[in-house]
C-alpha cells in the first residue's frame, strides 16, 4: 500500500530495459529496438559482453543444479528477467517434477511474458515486484501459495542486486530476504564488478544509466559482504566461470574477464 501499482508509464518501451538487452546479448529476440540500441552500445564498450552474459547464465544453471543436489525443491528467483528456454523451472522440474518456482521481476513485460510461458505450469508463477519491497514479495499470494517457508528455499539473486543503489541499502535487503527463509536454505548471488576491467565495464555501467535499472558495480569486498551471516559454500565468492564448473572446458580462458562475482551461501 502507499506505493503506486502499475501505471501505463511503466510499460514505456521507449526506454531500454536491461532485462530485454540481456536477452539480446544471450542471442534472444525478446527485445525492442530501443533495447538493442543500448545493447549494441554496451557491446561496443565490452565486445565480449555476450560471453559475460552467458557465463553468468551458466552460473545460474549450476547454482540451481547444486541446490537441487542439496535437496532444495522450491526456488525464489528475483530479477528473473525475460524467461528463456532452460529457465530455472525447466532445470529444476527436469529433476524434481513438482519443484516450485516463483519468478519475480520489476519489468512488466518480462513478467507478462513469464506468465504466458507458465500458464500451464501449476508449480511456477511470475509476479511483478521490486526487490526493494521485500515484505511485498514474501507476502504475495503467489509466493504464499507455492512456497512453504517452513522448508528450505533456494533464493536466486542472479544479476539483480547491482540494480539496487547504495542508498537503498542492498545488503540490508538481501539479509531481510534470507532471514525470512528456513534453515538450510541457500542464497545464490551474482554481481557485476569493474575490478578486472575498470574501463570497459565502467563504460558499460555508465551506459546503463539510461535504462530502467541502472547498474551499480561493486568490489569483491562489497559482494562478499552480501554473504555475511551465511555459510559461504566452496569455492566462495569467485569469477562466474570458476564456481563449480562441470568441466574444465566450461571455464574458458581469462575467467576474470567475465566480470561477475558469484557465490552461494547457506543459511545455518
Cell of 222: 562489497
Nearer to other proteins, 113 or 266 (CB): 113
82 interacts with other proteins by CB under 8 A: yes
Nearer to other proteins, 58 or 130 (CB): 58
247 interacts with other proteins by CB under 8 A: yes
246 interacts with other proteins by CB under 8 A: yes
171 interacts with other proteins by CB under 8 A: no
Cell of 81: 528477467
The Cα 258–Cα 25 span in angstroms is: 13
- Cα-Cα-Cα-Cα dihedral sign, residues 51, 173, 218, 230: negative
Contact (Cβ atoms closer than 8 angstroms) between residue 51 and residue 150 = no
b/e burial code for range 60-86 (CB count within 10 A of at least 16 → b): bbbbbebbbeeebbbbbbbbbbbbbee
Give the helix/strand (H/E) hosting 135.
helix 134-139
26 interacts with other proteins by CB under 8 A: yes
State which of residues 3, 69, 85, 234 lies at the interface with other proteins (CB under 8 A): 85
For the window 193-232, what string marks contact with other proteins as x by the rule CB under 8 A? ----------------------------------------
Task: Calculate helix-pair angle for 88-95, 49-69, nearest 10 degrees.
Answer: 30
Contact (Cβ atoms closer than 8 angstroms) between residue 71 and residue 154 = no
Smallest separation (angstroms) from other proteins to the CB of 171: 28
51 interacts with other proteins by CB under 8 A: yes
- List residues binding other proteins (CB under 8 A): 5-8, 10-11, 13, 20, 26-32, 50-51, 54-55, 57-58, 60-61, 82, 84-86, 108-113, 116, 246-247, 249-250, 252
Amino acid at each position: 500500500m502507499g506505493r503506486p501499482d502499475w501505471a501505463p508509464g511503466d510499460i514505456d518501451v521507449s526506454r531500454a530495459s536491461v532485462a530485454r538487452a540481456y536477452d539480446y546479448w544471450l542471442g534472444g529476440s525478446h527485445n525492442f529496438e530501443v533495447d538493442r540500441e543500448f545493447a549494441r552500445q554496451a557491446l561496443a564498450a565490452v565486445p565480449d559482453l555476450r560471453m559475460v552474459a552467458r557465463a553468468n547464465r551458466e552460473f545460474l544453471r549450476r547454482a540451481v543444479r547444486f541446490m537441487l543436489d542439496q535437496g532444495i525443491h522450491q526456488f525464489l528467483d528475483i530479477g528473473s528477467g525475460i524467461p528463456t528456454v532452460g529457465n530455472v523451472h525447466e532445470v529444476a522440474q527436469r529433476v524434481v517434477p513438482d519443484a516450485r518456482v516463483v519468478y519475480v521481476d520489476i519489468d512488466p513485460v518480462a513478467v507478462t511474458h513469464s506468465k504466458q510461458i507458465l500458464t500451464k505450469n501449476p508449480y511456477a508463477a511470475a509476479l511483478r515486484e521490486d526487490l526493494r519491497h521485500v515484505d511485498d514479495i514474501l507476502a504475495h499470494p503467489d509466493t504464499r501459495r507455492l512456497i512453504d517457508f517452513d522448508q528450505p528455499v533456494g533464493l536466486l539473486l542472479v544479476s539483480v542486486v547491482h540494480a539496487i543503489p547504495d542508498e537503498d541499502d542492498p545488503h540490508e535487503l538481501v539479509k531481510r530476504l534470507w532471514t525470512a527463509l528456513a534453515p538450510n536454505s541457500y542464497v545464490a548471488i551474482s554481481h557485476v564488478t569493474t575490478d578486472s576491467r575498470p574501463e570497459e565495464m565502467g563504460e558499460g555501467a555508465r551506459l546503463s544509466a539510461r535504462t530502467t535499472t541502472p547498474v551499480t558495480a561493486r568490489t569483491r569486498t562489497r559482494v562478499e559482504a552480501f554473504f555475511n551471516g551465511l555459510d559461504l559454500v566452496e569455492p566462495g565468492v569467485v569469477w562466474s566461470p570458476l564456481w563449480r564448473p562441470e568441466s574444465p572446458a566450461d571455464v574458458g580462458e581469462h575467467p576474470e574477464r567475465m566480470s561477475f562475482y558469484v557465490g552461494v551461501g547457506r543459511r545455518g
